[in-house]
Structures are given as structure tokens and as C-alpha cells.
Amino acid sequence: MTTSALLRRMPDEVRALRAAWPSVAGEVPELDEELEQEFRFGQRITRTERGYVLGGPMKGGSSSMWQPATKEQYRAFRRWQTQEGLLEGRDDEAYARLRELLARHEVELVTRRGVAQGRKGVPDPEPFPGYGPMYGHMAAILEALPEQHLRSETLQRIQLGGWGPDAAKASAYHERSVLMYDFACRGARRTFLGLFLHELGHAFETGLSDSAKDALYAGYKALSESDAFYGVEFLLDAATRVLYQKFVFVEFLAETYMVYTACGQALRDKIVSYPPPVREAWERVYDVLRTSFHGVEYE
């Protein structure tokens, strides 16, 4: 497939989504594959007055369950968190970068402590400072998107932390708002990045024209018949994310938005590897996306 001259590059950690999620169980002492999967699904180990406990939100919801853990497992969690997790901390420069970007497009940024940047540009009250590292990740992603996507009426608010209308998810798109729940903000960086792009994909698909959706639906039906979706591993394994797309059209659109931006050349290489009927269906989908991205493509 040929690409346009409007080629952009997502941050390296976003681009890493195109490859399988490598295990670090062999690199971190006391970390086995089972414990690693717990951490990747948002579970954490905390030290309390009664000892160490392992747990966290159940299925991404607001309810939680905890069980005894060991000091060695706690150390493994802390090491894993340093390598793959989202560490809380201040980053005033990243916050200012994100705030200014969103202010230009009148997108409200809300944290569990307050409004970081309102629609009118009034920062009141101060945002939760612990989201500093995430501010940098989000700014880098949003800067790589076409400005038209940030100016869309379907994206008016981004919420970090807390919960939303459906407490059984890690993230959501609801009433023109991208909601990144506590589950996403306190887990693996890879999961946060994938979910953030997926929810931005919902904001995008909501604003598509009927003709664009009709063309995408025709491609979707052909791909569904051949089980030819592109699976990316974050939060869930790639095969499960393929099934997630297969049965819900809007989830296919949101996931494909993430794939288009994060996987770039890997997606194009996959498309040309398919036999003609599937390749042609994917090419139709890709062409609609490229048009909706105003010609912007990704490395």
C-alpha cells in the first residue's frame, strides 16, 4: 500500500502496541507469570498495618477484593510497577503542555480532585498532581492526531480517575466525554495508552458521517465473515480483543482507530498479506479512515 506525504509518528510506547506484550517475569525476582497477569489486570499489592494484601477493582469496577500477600510479592509488584506501571508524581511541564493543547480546542480536563482546564479556560480548582506522568503520554498522543479530531463536538471532556456510568469497565466514552477510570490510571502504561486511543476512537466514530459509516460497515461485514480483524494485546489478549470487535460494530470502529494510529506500517503490511477479498475489504476500511484523518497516516 502506498502512503500519503502526511506521515506522522506516535510515541514509541504507543507503537509498541503492534507487538506482543513481552513478559518481564523472568527479569523481576519473585514475579511469576500468574502474578504478572494480576498486575497487568490492575491488581496491586499494598502494605497495611496487618501486613501485605493483593487486590484492587473487580473487573474494572468500583468494588474491590483483597487477599493476603507476602513481602516478596510486594517487592515484585514495586519492581514491576517501575518497569510497566503508571507511577504517580508531579510533572508540571507535562501538565502545562496538555492543558495548553486542550485549551486551544476547548476540551475540558477533569481529575478526581477538580477541573484542570475548563471549557472557558478557567483552571478551578487545581487538578490532582499525581497524574503528572499521564499528562505527558496524553499530550504526545493528542499532538499526533489531526487537529480536526480535537476540535470535534464529539470530544468535549476528558476525565482521569473516578468512575462513570458503567462501573464494570476500565474506561468509557459517554456524553462526549472520554472517561479513564481509576482502574486504567493505576495499572499498566500499555493498558492506559491502548484504552485512551480506543476511547478517542469512540469520540471519532460518533462524529462520522452516515456515508462513511455505511462504507465502514460494508468492510466490517466482509472482515467479520473471514475473522480478519487486527488484534492488539493490552488489558485483554489479542484473540479476545478480536472477538470484542467481531460482535459489535462500534467497538470495531473504536479499536480500528487505535490500530490505525498505533500500528501504522504494521497494519498496512498485514493488509497486503491477505488474499484479494479480505485485502480489498481492509483497503476500503483504510481509505475511509485515511480520508477521515484528512490524509494523515502513521509510521
85 near 38, Cβ under 8 Å? no
Distances (CA, A) of 176 to 35, 155, 172, 173, 291: 36, 5, 10, 7, 22
pLDDT of residue 129: 80
The pTM score is 0.92
CA distance 172 to 203: 10
Tell whether the model's pLDDT for residue 198 goes beyond 60: yes
Say what the pLDDT of residue 168 is: 55
Model confidence at 262: pLDDT above 80: yes
- Quick one: pLDDT at residue 194? 98
Label residue 63 by pLDDT band (50, 70, 90). Answer: low
pLDDT band of residue 23 (cuts 50, 70, 90) is: very high
Across 15-19, 151-155, 181-185, 285-289, least confident range: 181-185
The position carrying cell 509518528 is: 9
Q: Which of 208, 182, 207, 206 is nearest to 195 (CA)?
A: 182
Q: Residue 62 pLDDT more than 80?
A: no
Q: What is the pLDDT of residues 112-149, one digit of tens each?
A: 766 655 555 554 556 788 899 899 999 999 999 999 99
Confidence label for 183 from pLDDT (cuts 50, 70 and 90): confident
Confidence of residue 34 (pLDDT cuts 50, 70, 90): very high
* Rounded Cα distance, 38 and 201, in Å: 27
Average pLDDT over residues 27-40: 94
pLDDT band, residue 64 (cuts 50/70/90): confident
pLDDT at 173 over 70: yes
Distance CA(190)–CA(179), nearest Å, equals: 17
Grade residue 100 by pLDDT with cuts at 50, 70 and 90.
Answer: very high
Question: Grid coordinates in use for 12?
Answer: 514509541
Determine how many CB atoms are found less than 10 A away from the CB of residue 174.
Answer: 14
8-state DSSP, 231: P
Q: CA–CA separation, 207 vs 150, rounded Å?
A: 12
User: Looking at 32-41, 61-70, 153-162, 178-187, which range is the least confident one?
Assistant: 61-70
**Adjacent-strand bridge partners of 110:** 115, 159
Q: Is 136 helix (H, G, I), strand (E, B) or coil?
A: helix
pLDDT of residue 42: 84
